[in-house]
């Protein structure tokens, strides 16, 4: 794992966007995945700017989403699908070759998982997986206790996740499950970029990067990835 400590959130965003651009320049037919949440907002914005200025060609690149709250649709505030539409896909003047976005409101969630698996199997493995980290060490919705060998799956949300989820959609929704790419798919990615910002992430980042590899901290598995970058700001790196 390569640790890149950045001065602040903006520098973290710049470095992460730069690593994403590098993956696509090296392999224009890349399959890439970005997370939702607060952390990637700056990175995604810089990525869009590069594409819209003509500095990065994504016309051969495919995009697949990482995770979604079960029950939330693409019009629901706080859904990953809406985030991706508003921050990324809807802002691109030159679109990706193709996108596959998880539908958290699908009636048949088993088929939704199968479709995600099929997409990644067909066009993958992932060239680049950008990931945030939850306060319990989750990646996507690979919650603590997750089976490292899983592909896409539905999972009950942990208490930690339930405690923080209202920052995305207030009291409007009370999802109990998440749908997510599995750690098996993430670990097969050619490059992984883990991003983290802020003092509230310092404790879990220490466990993930310096602690033992354990299902109780899913992000710790990244220690075993052969090409993983942790791009973090100084506040998040304070306990490393
Ligand atoms: C969310 C999502 C993850 C995200 C993580 C951190 O619940 N399931 O994909 O990376 O938690 O979110 P944030 O960046 O808002 O701290």
- Which atom of ligand 1 sits closest to the CA of residue 178? 8
Phi, psi for residue 14 in degrees, rounded to 5: -65, -45
- Which structure tokens are listed for 65? 């989403």
In 3-state terms, what secondary structure has residue 1?
Answer: coil
Q: Which of 64, 104, 134, 200 best tests ligand 1's pocket when mutated (most atoms within 8 Å of CB)? A: 134
Token pair 């508003």 is at which residue?
86
Q: Is 104 in the pocket of ligand 1 (CB under 6 A)?
A: no
Give CA–CA dist 152/114, Å, rounded: 7
Nearest protein CA to atom 8 of ligand 1, as residue: 140
Q: Which of 13, 133, 203 best tests ligand 1's pocket when mutated (most atoms within 8 Å of CB)? A: 133
Q: Is 134 in the pocket of ligand 1 (CB under 6 A)?
A: yes
Q: Is 124 in the pocket of ligand 1 (CB under 6 A)?
A: no
Sheet holding 67-69, edge to edge: 67-69, 177-180, 153-156
Question: Backbone dihedral region of 140: left (phi > 0), alpha (psi from -120 to 50 degrees) or beta?
Answer: left
- Which atom of ligand 1 sits closest to the CA of residue 164? 7
Q: Which of 87, 79, 39 is nearest to 63 (CA)?
A: 87
Nearest protein CA to atom 3 of ligand 1, as residue: 140
Angle, alpha carbons 49-80-24 (nearest 5°): 40
Phi, psi for residue 155 in degrees, rounded to 5: -140, 145
Alpha helices per DSSP H over the chain: 9-26, 41-52, 80-83, 109-123, 159-164, 166-169, 183-187, 202-210
Residue 186 pLDDT: 98
- Which structure tokens are listed for 206? 């220490």
**Does pTM top 0.95 for this prediction?**
yes
pLDDT in tens, the chain (240 residues): 999 999 999 999 999 999 999 999 999 999 999 999 999 999 999 999 999 999 999 999 999 999 999 999 999 999 999 999 999 999 999 999 999 999 999 999 999 999 999 999 999 999 999 999 999 999 999 999 999 999 999 999 999 999 999 999 999 999 999 999 999 999 999 999 999 999 999 999 999 999 999 999 999 999 999 999 999 999 999 999
Q: Is 78 in the pocket of ligand 1 (CB under 6 A)?
A: no
Radius of gyration of the chain from Cα atoms? 16
Token pair 């499950």 is at which residue?
177
The residues facing 233 across adjacent strands are 6
Cα 112 to averaged position of ligand 1 atoms, centre (Å): 20
Q: Is the peptide bond before 125 cis (omega within 30 degrees of 0)?
A: yes
Cα 36 to averaged position of ligand 1 atoms, centre (Å): 6
Q: Are 106 and 85 in contact (CB under 8 A)?
A: no
For residue range 175-231, list pLDDT tens digits in order: 999 999 999 999 999 999 999 999 999 999 999 999 999 999 999 999 999 999 999
Q: Is 137 in the pocket of ligand 1 (CB under 6 A)?
A: no
Give CA–CA dist 228/111, Å, rounded: 30
């Amino acid at each position: 794992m390569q640790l890149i400590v950045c001065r602040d959130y903006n520098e973290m965003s710049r470095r992460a966007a730069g690593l994403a651009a590098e993956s696509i320049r090296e392999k224009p037919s890349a399959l890439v995945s970005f997370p939702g949440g607060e952390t990637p907002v700056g990175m995604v914005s810089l990525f869009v700017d590069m594409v819209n200025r003509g500095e990065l060609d994504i016309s051969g690149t495919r995009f697949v989403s990482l995770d979604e709250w079960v029950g939330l649709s693409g019009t629901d505030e706080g859904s990953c699908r809406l985030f991706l539409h508003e921050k990324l896909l809807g802002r691109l003047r030159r679109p990706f070759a193709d996108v596959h976005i998880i539908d958290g409101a699908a009636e048949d969630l088993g088929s939704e998982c199968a479709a995600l698996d099929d997409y990644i199997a067909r066009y993958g493995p992932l060239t680049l997986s950008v990931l945030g980290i939850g306060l319990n060490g989750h990646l996507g919705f690979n919650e603590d206790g997750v089976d490292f060998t899983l592909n896409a799956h539905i999972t009950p949300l942990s208490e930690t996740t339930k405690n923080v989820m209202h920052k995305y959609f207030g009291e409007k929704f009370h999802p109990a499950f998440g749908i997510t790419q599995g750690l098996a798919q993430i670990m097969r990615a050619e490059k992984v970029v883990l991003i983290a910002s802020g003092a509230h992430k310092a404790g879990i980042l220490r466990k993930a990067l310096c602690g033992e590899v354990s299902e109780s901290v899913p992000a710790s598995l990244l220690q075993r990835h052969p090409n993983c970058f942790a791009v973090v700001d100084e506040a998040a790196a304070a306990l490393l």
